[in-house]
Amino acid sequence: MQQEIKQARKRFIAMAVTYFLGVFNDNFFKQAVLLLAVSAGLSGLQGRATELFSLPFILFSAWGGWLADRFTKKRVVIGVKFLELAAMLIGAYGIVTMNWTCVLAMVFLMGLQSTLFGPALNGSIPELYPPEYVTTANSVLKLVTTIAILSGMALAGFALDLHLLQTRIPFGVLVVATGVVGIALLGVLASFGVYSRPASGGR
């Protein structure tokens, strides 16, 4: 049993790291966008961004469950992380050029990737752990999520306040733009380490 738990932990680490990076990136970017919007006098953007982030959960939650059953969870996670990378590239371009349409498009795509990632993540825990350890694994995942949210929000303001170099585009904005793309790339790499099991519903 102990050997089984050790194997489950090793397999779960890649999924947890992948999820942590995604949640951190979500909150880091969203907080940076809100701070930039307020400084630009666009405080009403917060409500619109919240709506766009929430919309995919309403529209595509059932699809997320279907994908997690139809395809291997590793395949779903890798696809979702590439979607996150695309979203972050759009978002990075948006904040560097102050193109708020791109920024809002990125917020919607991040909501979509969260919608599709959730079922694959939650479904992987019962597959990895014996029933008596599922609750513990879920608790650890909640802790990871909380740390990712709080650290992402806290570091956004810190990054925007950086003024180490004199650049045409504010240095803090460049840090955020390159940071979110870099973290998304790390998430893609981490996703290839996710444990793969045959899909319960097909491929």
pTM above 0.75, yes or no: yes
Q: Using an 8 Å Cβ cutoff, are 60 and 116 in contact?
A: yes
Cα–Cα separations (whole angstroms), residue 27 to 50, 54, 83, 136, 193: 12, 14, 17, 25, 24
Per CATH, the number for 2-191 is 1.20.1250.20
**What whole-number distance in Å separates Cα of residue 107 and Cα of residue 174?**
18
Ordered alpha helix ranges (H), the chain = 2-39, 45-70, 73-97, 100-128, 131-160, 171-191
pLDDT given at position 78: 92
Average pLDDT of span 174-195: 92
Secondary structure letter of residue 1 according to DSSP: -
Per residue in 24-71, pLDDT (tens digit) is 999 999 899 888 888 888 877 878 888 898 999 999 988 888 888 888
Span 60-105, pLDDT tens digits: 988 888 888 888 888 888 999 999 999 999 999 999 998 999 999 9
Convert the pLDDT of each residue in 118-129 to its tens digit.
Answer: 888 878 777 777
**Residue 118 burial by Cβ neighbours in a 10 Å radius (0-12, 13-18, 19+):** middle
At residue 176, does pLDDT exceed 90? Answer: yes
Q: Over 60: is that where the pLDDT of 175 sits?
A: yes
In the chain, where are the structural domains located? 2-191
Q: Report pLDDT for 153.
A: 94
Q: What distance in Å separates the CA atoms of residue 128 and residue 57, rounded to the nearest whole number?
A: 26
